[in-house]
């Protein structure tokens, strides 16, 4: 009888140990996933920040480039040829776009000289509702907020129509007025809402406008 009790207790203890190992394993996987996401968000910020700085430098000399064009032109390849884009963001079979660590596409457009504008398109994937996609979108907006002194405005575009709602259009320092929502003072709620409001919308992207 004693052996039977000891055996029963050993089985219960073993099951308890296995349960603890299972919990720790799940926790370890979750912890690793969170750490990896944080790493990739930091990497994304580094990459897009480098692209924005390249766009700012190019915009400063855009009047010279814009003299020779009559319609909007994709100048992404020019940034690549100038060595402004990290190799890790370049896909050799598609030089019309560059891609961040999450495989989010970006491209850069220069407008004719009379427009006095350049435009950076960013295409975050919000077609699938997930917390990770929201965090990626928020990460992009926080990064754009940090460049409020040089960005003219940002807008959210879906289904090929500009969303004109004031809650989804933010203006840089030079265009910020009491009638506009300022990029520099975007709140956490405004940033989160902007990302949530565009779930499941086809062909969604963010327009980032610069002016010389």
The span from the CA of 32 to the CA of 16, in Å, is 24
Residue 186, both tokens:
């975007």
Q: Is the pLDDT higher at 90 or at 199?
A: 90
Write down the pTM of the prediction. Answer: 0.80
Domain count, the chain: 1
* pLDDT for position 193: 87
* pLDDT for position 163: 45
Q: Which domain holds residue 125?
A: 2-211
CATH number of domain containing 122:
3.30.1690.10
């Amino acid at each position: 009888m004693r052996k039977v009790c000891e055996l029963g207790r050993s089985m219960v203890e073993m099951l308890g140990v296995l349960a603890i190992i299972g919990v720790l394993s799940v926790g370890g996987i979750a912890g690793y996933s969170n750490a990896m996401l944080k790493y990739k968000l930091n990497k994304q910020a580094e990459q897009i920040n480098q692209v924005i700085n390249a766009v700012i430098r190019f915009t400063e000399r855009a009047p010279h480039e814009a003299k020779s064009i009559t319609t909007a032109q994709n100048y992404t390849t020019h940034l690549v040829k100038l060595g402004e884009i990290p190799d890790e963001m370049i896909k050799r079979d598609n030089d019309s776009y560059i891609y961040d660590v999450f495989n989010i596409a970006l491209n850069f457009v220069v407008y004719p000289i009379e427009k006095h504008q350049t435009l950076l398109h960013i295409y975050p994937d919000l077609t699938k509702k997930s917390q990770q996609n929201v965090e990626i979108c928020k990460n992009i907006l926080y990064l754009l907020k940090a460049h409020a002194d040089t960005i003219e405005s940002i807008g959210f575009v879906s289904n090929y129509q500009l969303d004109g709602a004031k809650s989804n259009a933010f203006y840089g320092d030079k265009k910020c007025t009491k009638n506009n929502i300022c990029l520099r003072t975007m709140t956490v709620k405004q940033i989160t809402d902007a990302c949530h409001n565009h779930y499941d919308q086809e062909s969604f992207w963010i327009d980032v406008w610069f002016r010389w």
